[in-house]
Amino acid sequence: MECFVHADKKYFPEYNWFEKAISYPYKAPTTSFTFKNGKFYQGIHISLKDRVPILSIGSNRSPYQLKNKFGVKENLCVTPAKLYNSVIVYAASMSAYGSIPATQWPCEGSVSDLNLLWLNQDQLQIMHLSEGLGIAYHYVELDKNTVTIQEDDYSGPIFGYISTRGGYLFDGNEPLRLKNIKSNTNTHSSINEYEALNKLFLENPDGQTSLETWLKIFISNKSKRLSLIDKMSKKSLLPKNVPWKILDLKVTGNNIY
């Protein structure tokens, strides 16, 4: 089996704080990949039985972010998937590291190229905390037949995370799609993370003259970031007729939100 190199800058770049913020949702292989015994492999090299499949819509698609959350010594696997009748848009939120994160948005006829992250129960608890469960994201069960899995014959439930605040309305009356997530539809305009953050900066300059100095304020000061998120909530939109069911779930521990 092919072993990728951990130092490969394509999947494990050495970003500074600003590069990390503007590079979201990071690069991801189009094939399945596995973290196993401290190594990074192409393909499926652990059993997926008894693991929970999570639809990865943003940075959880990427080896870079999974290494940040779990390290490479945790055994986990990612497989390609297609999401139907939803696109991936910018949420009305900002992460602790300064990115505007992703959320799923209903869009009839669309197909998006994503992947599934297969987690054991302990890893799932870590993921819940990293997603700010109940604060930034709801944990949901996706409607059957909205996701097709490649490279595995699993037919059980698939889960995901949906923004509690919905999509952010930069301009117009629809959220903007993440440019780096491939979709077959052009019904939603798309921009990259740098462009999204720059738009948000120009809307709320807060006396700053550059995106970098502005963004550093919100990364270093949680209360200011939460205040900005409250402002963003006033320009947010919740989706209607959603193809998922919110699960009532409580988690203990310190979330990073």
Other CB atoms within 10 A of residue 172 CB: 9
pLDDT at 3: 60
Residue 58: which pLDDT band, with cuts at 50, 70 and 90? very high
Does residue 25 have a cis peptide bond before it, meaning omega lies within 30 degrees of 0? yes
DSSP-assigned beta bridge partners for residue 55: 116
Q: How do residues 6-40 score in pLDDT, each as one tens digit?
A: 557 889 999 999 999 999 999 999 999 999 999 99
Q: How do residues 176-232 score in pLDDT, each as one tens digit?
A: 999 999 888 777 899 999 999 999 999 999 888 999 999 999 999 999 999 999 999
Does residue 1 register a pLDDT over 70? no
Residue 130: which pLDDT band, with cuts at 50, 70 and 90? very high
For residue 166, CA distances in Å to 4, 152, 211 come to 36, 31, 24
In a domain, 255, yes or no: no
129 neighbors 121 (Cβ within 8 angstroms): no
In a domain, 139, yes or no: yes
Does residue 241 register a pLDDT over 90? yes
* Total of domains in the chain: 1
pLDDT at 173: 86
In a domain, 253, yes or no: no
The closest of 73, 64, 61, 69 to 32, measured between CA atoms, is: 61
Does residue 142 register a pLDDT over 90? yes
In a domain, 37, yes or no: yes
In a domain, 142, yes or no: yes
Is residue 173 helix, strand or coil? coil
Q: Is 145 left (phi over 0), alpha (psi -120 to 50) or beta?
A: left
The burial of 195, by beta-carbon neighbours within 10 Å (0-12 exposed, 13-18 middle, 19 or more buried), is given as middle
CA-CA-CA-CA dihedral for 55, 57, 62, 64, to nearest 10: -110
For residue 233, CA distances in Å to 35, 118, 139, 168, 222 come to 37, 31, 19, 8, 16
Average pLDDT over residues 127-153: 92
DSSP-assigned beta bridge partners for residue 90: 102
pLDDT at 86: 96
Q: Which H/E stretch holds residue 56? A: strand 52-56
In a domain, 129, yes or no: yes
Site of tokens 């798309």: 190
pLDDT at 232: 97
What does residue 116 show for φ and ψ, rounded to 5 degrees? Answer: -110, 135
In a domain, 31, yes or no: yes
pLDDT at 5: 52
In a domain, 191, yes or no: yes
Does residue 111 register a pLDDT over 80? yes
Residue 77: which pLDDT band, with cuts at 50, 70 and 90? very high
pLDDT at 2: 57
> Considering the chain, what is the average pLDDT of its residues?
93
pLDDT at 152: 75
The closest of 93, 152, 89, 84 to 118, measured between CA atoms, is: 152
Boundaries of domain holding 7? 3-246
Q: Could you tell me the CATH number of the domain that includes residue 206? A: 3.10.490.10
